[in-house]
Structure 1
Amino acid sequence: MAQLYATAMNRQQIESRCGQLAQFAGVRLVTLQDGVERGIRMLEFRSGTGLRFTVLIDRAMDIAECEFRGYAVGWHSPAGFRHPGLHEYEGESGLGWMRSFSGLMITCGLDHILFMHESPADNYVYQPRQKIQHSIHGRVGTIPARLTGYGERWEDDRCFLWAEGVVSQGTVFGEHLELYRRIEIEVGTNDIQLHDRVVNRGFYRTPHMFCYHLNVGYPVLDTASRYLAPIQDVVWAAHADEYRTQGVGYQQMPEPQMGFHEQVWQHEMKADDQGHVPVALVNDRLGLGIEVTTRKDQFPCQYQWQNFQAGQYAMGIEPSTNHVLGEGAARERGELIWLEHGEERHYDTRIRILADANDIAQCEQRIRAISPQPSEAYPALSGQFRPLSPPPQKGGA
């Protein structure tokens, strides 16, 4: 049964109260028509709880807007939701990606993540292509998807809103990787389910790296908002040489700053007995938060991105297949994932809105039960990047 407006109702009861479910819940296809967004196809989801989020079909089916009962959750940057036709992947010496960087979720990959890197291309057996120039965070986030379906599905008295699509990243004498994405939410809930499958459709042995840039903005992010995570070890910080200079630690967030230099941390997370890793940002004053739960065997690494510069105010939760050291280190350490033809990787993630103080308390209790996080704002950095042992690839599909 669906829990709608403080009432548990079966399908007949719901349908008796409306001519269409879209009166309070549904998923619909629209096209944006102005500015840098012009021409982008978008799916709008409403779960019936006050949760609304949008999926940009033409930008890898990433989640753009997210709001709950009128409160913004996702981040909007000055770049806006830019049409991929305006994107210059190799622009600005590989930093052109920043001009398309906006929204609750940006997918990074499929063969490269993190900063710009020049990779050997001998696996593609093409003499003119000796090297591959990778821009920051890879290509996939600005590739349009082929929408394969969307709508609502009833299972007895439960209703699910869903969308599926395929994002193909391919070239001649190079990679041919495909991302199969399914996004689903049950009516009457605040739990977005994200299921990704990355497959090597080509016939070259191809590297694979994958990361989600999940960006939370004001008002969930605000003065005294708290980062909750089952942190066993704080491994690394990009700002280690100036650890305390900006006066911002990892756990409690400040108000927007002038002249703030981004801070990035890598935390070693402990998983629960089922292999899940929950991470959250919560605003106790509002009784509102967001929790992201991933699988440790799928995303063994986690980063925390702090961009508290005025006008760009955001904090990012970033589950990743690899350490923040980047592609070069992954190759040297033997940790780069290689996919043969037909081999694939699966990623299952839950993005949950914490709707009140009780949700926040339960989330915090779950996280503490897995591992208490450091109480210090500036915990000592271990520098211990644990060896990664990727699970065996899966074939098929």
Structure 2
Amino acid sequence: MVKLYDKDLTRKEVAALSGGLGHAAGVRSLELSDGVERGIRMLEFRSGTGLRFTVLVDRAMDIAECEHQGRAIGWHSPTGFRHPALHEYEGEGGLGWLRSFSGLMVTCGLDHTLFMNETSTEEYNYAPRQNAQHSLHGRVGTIPARLTGYGERWEGDRCFLWAEGVVTQAVVFGENLELRRRIEVEVGTNDIQLTDEVTNRGFYRTPHMYCYHINLGHPVLEEGARYLAPIKEVVWAAHENTYEQQGVGYRILPEPQQNFHEQVWQHAMVADGAGEIPVALVNDRLGLGLMVTTKAAQFPCQFNWQNLQAGQYAIGIEPSTHHVLGNNAARDRGEMIWLEHGENRRYDSRFTVLDDAAAVASAEAKIQCIIMQPDEDFPKPTGVFAPIGGRG
């Protein structure tokens, strides 16, 4: 059954109510036409519950806007959803990525994530290019997708909105990695399903790193908002030497700050019985939040990003294939994912909008049933980066 406006309906009953489902839910193609966003193809999803989100086809099919009943969930930075033609990957010493950084989700990868560094490229057997200079968080987030389809799919009396596209990151004498992304939401629900598959289409043995930068802003983020996660221990804090100086811990968020320096944690998480890790940001005043659920086997590492500076106010949930130590450390520790021709990695994630106090309470109970997170604002980082096994 399709649940619309607090009523369960069959497909026939939905068809009788209007000329099409589009009066209540649907997915349609749009194009932005002004400023730095001009020319970006975009898909708009409406699930019928008040959930609306947009997908930037020309930005790796990342999720840009996200709102529920007019209440914003995804973060909007000052950069806007900048057209990829304006992006300079190697600009500003590798920090040019920050000029294209906005939206609910920005994908990082496909062969590099985290900060800038230089790595050997001996696997590509090309003498003029002995090393690669990697910029912040890799290339994929500003590569346009080839849109392979979108629309409605009915399964009996259930209806699913979907879109699928292919993003290719490739170079001569280097990587040829393909990201196939599928996004689905069932009509009448608040669950966005994201299925990614990264495949090596080339014939060189190729490194693969992957991370989602999931960014939440006002009004989900405001003074008193809470970060909930099944945290066993804090592994690392970028600001450990000045841990309490700004007075902002990992659990409870303040109002926008002046002269705030970003804070990043890596937490060691515990998965539930199904091997899943749920992480949420919740606003108790509004009864609003977002829970991100990933699989521990796919994303064994989790980061928490805080950019609480006034005018850029955001918090990030970041599931990652690798530790915060970076590209060279992953190689040195034997934890890099190496893909031979035709090999792939799959990532299955779910974004759930928590639309009232009951949904927030249910999410919190689900997380607490796994493990109670540290109840102090500044738990001491252990510095223990557990080995990541099972990598090809």
Q: TM-score range by the shorter chain?
A: over 0.9
1:13 deviates by 1.1
Equivalent position SS for 1:368: helix
Tell me what 2:233 maps to: 233
Alpha-carbon distance between aligned partners in 2 of 1:249 and 1:14, rounded to the nearest angstrom: 48
Equivalent position SS for 1:329: helix
Contact 2:119 2:131 in 1 (8 A): yes
TM-score (norm 1): 0.98
Counterpart amino acid of residue 86 in structure 2: L
Tell me what 2:258 maps to: 258
Gapped runs of 5+ residues in structure 1?
Answer: 393-397
Alpha-carbon distance between aligned partners in 1 of 2:173 and 2:287, rounded to the nearest angstrom: 52
> Bigger CA drift: 103-112 or 381-390?
381-390
Identity over aligned pairs, percent: 68
Contact 1:297 1:391 in 2 (8 A): no
Contact 1:181 1:194 in 2 (8 A): yes
List per-residue Cα deviations over 1:133-169 (Å, max 9, x = no partner): 1000000000000000000000000000000000000
> In angstroms, what is the RMSD of aligned CA positions?
0.6
Tell me what 2:360 maps to: 360
Alpha-carbon distance between aligned partners in 1 of 2:77 and 2:57, rounded to the nearest angstrom: 19
Alpha-carbon distance between aligned partners in 2 of 1:354 and 1:237, rounded to the nearest angstrom: 28
Matching of residue 140 in structure 1 with residue 136 in structure 2? no
Alpha-carbon distance between aligned partners in 2 of 1:121 and 1:215, rounded to the nearest angstrom: 32
Alpha-carbon distance between aligned partners in 2 of 1:370 and 1:362, rounded to the nearest angstrom: 13
Tell me what 1:108 maps to: 108
Equivalent position SS for 1:169: strand
Counterpart amino acid of residue 304 in structure 1: N
Contact 1:299 1:321 in 2 (8 A): yes
Matching of residue 54 in structure 1 with residue 51 in structure 2? no
Matching of residue 125 in structure 1 with residue 125 in structure 2? yes
For these two proteins, the number of residue pairs brought into alignment is 392
Alpha-carbon distance between aligned partners in 1 of 2:266 and 2:127, rounded to the nearest angstrom: 38
Alpha-carbon distance between aligned partners in 2 of 1:374 and 1:121, rounded to the nearest angstrom: 41
Tell me what 1:35 maps to: 35
Equivalent position SS for 2:358: helix
1:380 deviates by 1.2
Alpha-carbon distance between aligned partners in 2 of 1:235 and 1:3, rounded to the nearest angstrom: 43
1:391 deviates by 4.7
Equivalent position SS for 2:363: helix
Counterpart amino acid of residue 335 in structure 1: E
Tell me what 2:81 maps to: 81
Counterpart amino acid of residue 141 in structure 1: G
Tell me what 2:342 maps to: 342
TM-score (norm 2): 0.99
Tell me what 1:395 maps to: none
Equivalent position SS for 2:103: coil
Tell me what 2:164 maps to: 164
Alpha-carbon distance between aligned partners in 2 of 1:76 and 1:244, rounded to the nearest angstrom: 28
Counterpart amino acid of residue 219 in structure 1: P
Tell me what 1:204 maps to: 204
1:173 deviates by 0.1
List per-residue Cα deviations over 1:100-121 (Å, max 9, x = no partner): 0000000000000000010101
Contact 1:55 1:61 in 2 (8 A): yes
Matching of residue 194 in structure 1 with residue 194 in structure 2? yes
Q: Where do 1:374-393 residues align within 5 Å?
A: 374-391=374-391
Segments ≥4 residues shifted beyond 3 Å: none
Alpha-carbon distance between aligned partners in 2 of 1:85 and 1:380, rounded to the nearest angstrom: 43
1:390 deviates by 3.3
